[in-house]
A and B are shown apart, each in its own frame.
Chain A
Amino acid sequence: MTYNCVVLVKQVPDTAHITGKAMKEDGTVNRAALPAILNPEDLNALEMALQVKDQYGGQVTVLTMGPPRAAEVLREALYRGADRVILLTDRATAGSDTLATSYALECAVEHLSAEIGAVDLIFCGRQAIDGDTAQVGPQVAEKLGLPQITYAEAIQSLAEDQIVVQRALPLGTEVVQCGLPCLLTVVGSANTPRPPSVRRVMAYKLAATPFELDALLTQWPEFGAQEALQSYLADRGLQITVWNAADIGADPSRVGLAGSPTKVLKIHSVVLASEGSQTFENSDSGLAELIRELVHDYVL
């Protein structure tokens, strides 16, 4: 049996590598200075899906919801082995919280199933590094009526419509058996994602959404006109599918800000500052003074 796999990915700012350059003078983070990357645990999810395909056959479709520039992470997925990639983008979905996002992804997966047949396995990263909520995977599973296996670390076996998965918990492991279709959220310790293959980078570097044709024409002026470029891309399967909210039949009242029950009341940036700090010499007398003060203040 071969397996129809879908991987849900997200483009995120690289919050894990905030360097001095990304810090503003007031001590807050300059988000614009952070590179946008494919969320790290989504790469582990993609790798797990690709391993299923390698072993059993089938296809791996990667789906993301985001602004037009999120096509960058879809090319990244193509370089690493995805068969097909889809960008769900629509201004109406901007500002979606996890509930609205999972609804849109539910609609997209159902729309995809209508095209490619029933989906057997959905893979997500456990959580995204910008929000760290770990909510979208379980919420998509609920909306699609599928069982969820969170913290998936390894597929121990896959036979017909039964999967056995090892889950990594902070203080141990659990092995569960579940019928397909189901949704897995994958942890970072699951595998080492394969790097982009040179062959695939060559093959897919021109893969583009309709939004990117102008930029591509500037880069490759020899095509002359958009039509010529479009037919070139179409002949080689390099057109990245783009869907909007209407394409997937999403109820406008359930996506974007309108469909998001959570509202941000306020945000404050963490400013690094400590008031009344004291410096002590790294010497016998300096540190004896520190200990005296701590004991005096009942800290020790």
Chain B
Amino acid sequence: MYSEAETIMTDNRQVWVFVEQQEGDLAPVSLELLGKARELADALHGSVAALLLGHQIAQWADPVIAHGADVVFLADHPELADYRTLPFARVAIDLIREHRPYIFLLGATPVGRDLAPRVASAVRAGLTADCTDLQIGNWEYQGETTRDLLYQIRPAFGGNIIATIVNPKMHPQMATVREGVMRLRAPDPSRQGAVRPVQPTFADGDLGLKVLSREVRLPTVDLRHASVIVAGGMGVGSAEGFDLLHELAEVLGGEVAASRAAVDAGFAPAERQVGQTGVTVRPRLYIACGISGAVQHRAGMDQSSKIIAINTDPHAPIFDIAHYKIVGDLRQALPRMIRAYREKRD
């Protein structure tokens, strides 16, 4: 489909970020990545370039520069109005072959996870999915040291291990990064950058897929930015049982989340799910109510600054990572906490 590629090795230290748009705005994860890319590029004495693809999107170049890009490759074309794999992949692959970046990062969103493997396969680059951290470091192998590689750090095996992956020989070093794990840095409107228009050249096969319809619900909850999360599991017992969690969340100014088991049982909607297959959160305080603490759940919340666990089972694994343990019934504990907080505040 694409001309057969040789593998790429590059001398430059360009760090590229695919900038995604979601419902007429820049995706938060792309802004998070621009900040991280800036940090990596500074450590490498390199530069940050953003790939901005779409139609009538020139207005996004300034915020992308303010968030850390030195160069914005801007492909503005009617065929790029909606995300489709092949036209987007074509633009990215052609740019990578021309400029041979050192690192290429994408958000681990449905779009990023669709696009990244397509591009990685075509340019024969290594790709690590769903990274939760990125660092720069060396790789020693058979007496040879490769310097300044991208450490791609991710949970694997159902969250039971943390693996650090490197791509020593084949560039770009590609990774998708989970939403919400890199800190969003404040934009600097005084930053200067160059906008480079890109004229895409599509092949016949690139435009064969048609989007017939698209229905998108806007998220009604924003777990990733909540500083306090009150989460419920099977121990909550019912959808009505979650009312108490909502009450505590409201008093504390937080959001309500749920484990996968509670979502599967119909106690809470899927958009509130935290864990390996849900959202990753790291609030200031995570209150786990009636959650046993399976590794899949912990993978989505164990970076929380402080964790309170409330469970009737003193041996529940959640207690192993909790800072504050309450063994007992959440139906008594939550009203007591609500009362105590109101009294303290008043």
Contacts and interface: CB of A to CB of B under 8 A. Distances in A.
Contacts of B219: 171
A31 to B, nearest CB: 8
A176 B211 contact: yes
Highest count of chain A CB atoms <10 Å: which of B120, B127, B157, B305: B157
Given A267-B163, A287-B336, 5 more contacts: A18-B295, A142-B121, A150-B85, A151-B110, A173-B214
A102 B166 CA distance: 19
24 contacts: A29-B158, A29-B295, A98-B117, A99-B120, A131-B129, A137-B117, A142-B2, A142-B121, A145-B1, A164-B212, A175-B211, A175-B212, A176-B211, A270-B155, A270-B159, A270-B160, A270-B162, A276-B323, A277-B319, A279-B327, A281-B326, A282-B332, A282-B336, A287-B340
Nearest to A288: B340
Contacts of A195: none
B102 to A, nearest CB: 14
B213 A175 contact: yes
Closest 5 CB pairs of A and B: A282-B328, A261-B126, A15-B158, A145-B1, A172-B216
Interface residues of B, number: 93
A261 B341 contact: no
A151 B333 CA distance: 41
A101 B324 CA distance: 45
B290 to A, nearest CB: 13
Nearest to B343: A288
A222 interface: no
B250 to A, nearest CB: 14
A135 interface: yes
Nearest to A164: B212
A134 to B, nearest CB: 5
B228 A300 contact: yes
A212 interface: no
Interface residues of A, number: 79
A265 B124 contact: no
Contact of A29 (B160, B215, B271): B160
Contact of A267 (B114, B122, B152, B162): B162
Contacts of B332: 282
B324 A173 contact: no
A265 B151 contact: yes
Nearest to A293: B324
Contacts of A28: 160-161
A134 B298 CA distance: 21
Interface in A242-298: 260-270, 272-274, 276-284, 286-288, 290-292, 294-295, 297
